[in-house]
A and B are shown apart, each in its own frame.
Chain A
Amino acid sequence: MSAGRVGVGVLLAALVAAPFVPMGGMRQYIFHVLIQIFVWSFIGGAWALMGRFGLVSLGHGAFLGLGAYTTTLLWNFFGLTPWLGALVAVVLTAALAVIVAYPCSRFQVIGHYFGLVTLAVGEVVRLLIIAERDWTGGSLGLTVRPAGADSLVAVQFADKRVFYYAALVLWALGLWVWHRVDRSMARSAMEAIGEDETAAASVGIHVTRFKIAITVLSAVLTAVGGIAYAQYIAYVNPDTLAGIGVSLRIVFAVVLGGMYALLGPTVGTALTIALAEVLRVVFGITYVGMAETIYGLLLIVFIIFLPSGIYGSVRDLLRRRPRSQPAAPVTA
């Protein structure tokens, strides 16, 4: 067993045992931050499934919002359990992903142009949510109708620990999906497509199919993340779940952590959330906007000097070092 595996085991055990550690008055707050990190890391990982192959979406808020609003509306108006609501949401998100990906792939809308198309899609979903205010509550948002007591059917629990474990499982699921994609033939195909679509087609890769498949996968997971977030916060708002703001927040976190590495999105998300919290606590309301300014400056610095992300750069550094040392004899 390598040192890395032991480290992972210890970390996982610590995460599973965390709810049983006494934390005093900070408990609720710490869990709140951790749940946020898990859910947004999962969403960041979903985004990176596309992003790492050059499909940089600036409108993942569309999928997030579609997922969250679908389950919330179905529950509020028809009493449909979010479990089934999530299925409906997944189908709708997959359909939206195909509607976006198919024409983009057919007409070779790639690179920056793809980014602009997705940017527009994210905004369209946000504006639709605001426009349908009779249903969605417009820009004031919508509270998930309380079930009264803890309820598995409604997926509502007073105890944050339930959400903590759910978020932990979700996060692990996201890592597993990433790992599967990373090990598959689809990864080589997508990498080839990301480098040169014409060349990829010329070696027999079905470019359109792969691009649609990875977009649907990414969108569906993002929607699931949106649903999880909505169930936890019990409130949906067009600005926190759709549009440019949240879409870019996902991108920044992933770029910061590194989109080519398994734990990159997690590291990036944890850092951005922690940074936002620290800046909020330090500056509070004394210097309005200071937190955002520092946050933005740090992001720019990181993106310029660590293009493969913090986690990606550290990992590369660690990998390079053993190689420069003299090779150990193969046989004893």
Chain B
Amino acid sequence: MLELRNVTAGYGAFTALWDVSLDVAAGEAVAVVGPNGAGKTTLLRVISGMIAPRAGALTFEGASLTGRPAYEVVAHGIAHVPEGRRIFPMLTVADNLKMGAYLKVARRAYAESLERVFALFPVLSERRRQRAGSLSGGEQQMLAVGRALMSRPRLVLLDEPSMGLAPVMVLRLFDLIRRVREEGYTILIVEQNVRQVLKLVDRAYLLEAGHLKMEGRAEALAEQDFVRKAYVGL
């Protein structure tokens, strides 16, 4: 479904990603884990078109998306839930979701998408008239995911969904993401919370200082001594 071939990217003179190749098959849930500053967020930003790669190719469902801008990537069926949630705080919950269905194709299916999102996250339905900025951190994250689903994507990119959430909330959120997955969305998730995310996904990549270090089944990776010591903390 999604293929990255030898992608190199960065900001100005700084290179954050070196020669990264990665695949996500339809229906899969894949994680990219690694320490702070490994280039995880940059990777998602390249895929969603927020920054253009310096070298390499990006293909989604057979179409080349290399260097295409963000608004085009969304139209192709990739939704990005950016780091730090990035909801529209002054707009209501309902308006945030409406903005998620901004593209014409998504707008046509607005009512149906809204029903789906409310079924997944009932709390959003309860708070639909509230200003998004007044939601709790966990609810804001749900809203960010819900807003992404409103664009009717096939692939959802999640950037550090657990960031800044209380441990209890993190568990609940991962449960919800699991349900999103069961709805048939393909998921590429970037996380520092390695232990939790490995329970959620099928496969994982380990990113370190801009290089892909390891790749494998989630269970196998969790078993590896090296990973356990460095990231799982056991």
Chain A residues proximal to chain B, CB less than 8 Å: 185, 188-189, 191-192, 195-196, 198-207
Docked Cα-Cα span, A203 to B75, in Å, equals: 9
- Chain B residues with Cβ below 8 Å from A206 are 69, 71
Are the CB atoms of A203 and B90 closer together than 8 Å?
no
Docked Cα-Cα span, A202 to B151, in Å, equals: 10
B residues 59-91 near A (Cβ < 8 Å) are 69-71, 74-75, 79-82, 86-91
- Chain A residues with Cβ below 8 Å from B148 are 202-203
B100 in the interface (beta carbon within 8 A): yes
- Chain B residues with Cβ below 8 Å from A188 are 95, 98-99, 102
- A204/B91 contact (C-beta < 8 A), A196-B86, A198-B50, A199-B86 known: no
- Chain A residues with Cβ below 8 Å from B79 are 202
Are the CB atoms of B50 and A201 closer together than 8 Å?
yes
Are the CB atoms of B75 and A204 closer together than 8 Å?
yes
- Chain B residues with Cβ below 8 Å from A205 are 71, 99, 102
Among B80, B99, B151, which residue has its beta carbon within 8 angstroms of that of A192? Answer: B99
- Chain B residues with Cβ below 8 Å from A185 are 102
Among B69, B82, B98, which residue has its beta carbon within 8 angstroms of that of A198? Answer: B82
- A195/B90 contact (C-beta < 8 A), A202-B80, A204-B103 known: yes
Among A198, A199, A201, which residue has its beta carbon within 8 angstroms of that of B71? Answer: A201
Q: Which residue of A lies closest to B80 (CB)?
A: A202
- A203/B147 contact (C-beta < 8 A), A188-B98, A192-B99, A196-B88 known: yes
Are the CB atoms of B151 and A204 closer together than 8 Å?
yes
Are the CB atoms of A204 and B71 closer together than 8 Å?
yes
A-B contacts, 8 listed (Cβ < 8 Å) = A199-B82, A199-B86, A200-B99, A202-B81, A202-B148, A203-B102, A203-B150, A204-B71
- Chain A residues with Cβ below 8 Å from B150 are 203
- Chain A residues with Cβ below 8 Å from B106 are 204
Are the CB atoms of A203 and B91 closer together than 8 Å?
no
* Chain A proximity mask over B27-70: 1 for CB below 8 Å, otherwise 0: 00000000000000000000011100000000000000000011
Docked Cα-Cα span, A205 to B98, in Å, equals: 13
- A203/B50 contact (C-beta < 8 A), A195-B90, A196-B88 known: no
Are the CB atoms of A203 and B82 closer together than 8 Å?
no
B residues 104-152 near A (Cβ < 8 Å) are 106, 147-148, 150-151
Report the minimal beta-carbon distance from B146 to chain A, rounded to whole angstroms: 12
- On chain B, the number of residues with a Cβ less than 8 Å from chain A's Cβ atoms is 29
Chain B residues proximal to chain A, CB less than 8 Å: 48-50, 69-71, 74-75, 79-82, 86-91, 95, 98-100, 102-103, 106, 147-148, 150-151
Are the CB atoms of B102 and A202 closer together than 8 Å?
no
Among A195, A201, A204, A207, which residue has its beta carbon within 8 angstroms of that of B88? Answer: A195
Are the CB atoms of A204 and B70 closer together than 8 Å?
yes
- Chain A residues with Cβ below 8 Å from B69 are 201, 206
Docked Cα-Cα span, A59 to B86, in Å, equals: 30
Report the minimal beta-carbon distance from A228 to chain B, rounded to whole angstroms: 35
Docked Cα-Cα span, A174 to B36, in Å, equals: 51
Residue from A192, A200, A203 whose CB has the most chain B CB atoms within 10 Å: A203
Docked Cα-Cα span, A207 to B72, in Å, equals: 12
Report the minimal beta-carbon distance from B72 to chain A, rounded to whole angstroms: 8
Are the CB atoms of A198 and B102 closer together than 8 Å?
no
Are the CB atoms of A199 and B88 closer together than 8 Å?
yes
- A203/B100 contact (C-beta < 8 A), A198-B50, A198-B82 known: yes
Are the CB atoms of A198 and B151 closer together than 8 Å?
no
Are the CB atoms of A204 and B50 closer together than 8 Å?
no
Report the minimal beta-carbon distance from B147 to chain A, rounded to whole angstroms: 7
Report the minimal beta-carbon distance from B190 to chain A, rounded to whole angstroms: 14
Among B75, B87, B95, B98, which residue has its beta carbon within 8 angstroms of that of A199? Answer: B87
Report the minimal beta-carbon distance from B161 to chain A, rounded to whole angstroms: 14
Docked Cα-Cα span, A15 to B111, in Å, equals: 45
Report the minimal beta-carbon distance from B163 to chain A, rounded to whole angstroms: 15
For the complex of A and B, 6 pairs with smallest distance between CB atoms: A204-B74, A199-B86, A201-B70, A195-B88, A204-B103, A206-B71
Are the CB atoms of B88 and A192 closer together than 8 Å?
yes
Q: Which residue of A lies closest to B73 (CB)?
A: A204
- Chain B residues with Cβ below 8 Å from A202 are 48, 50, 70, 74, 79-82, 86, 148
- Chain B residues with Cβ below 8 Å from A207 are 71
Docked Cα-Cα span, A200 to B82, in Å, equals: 11
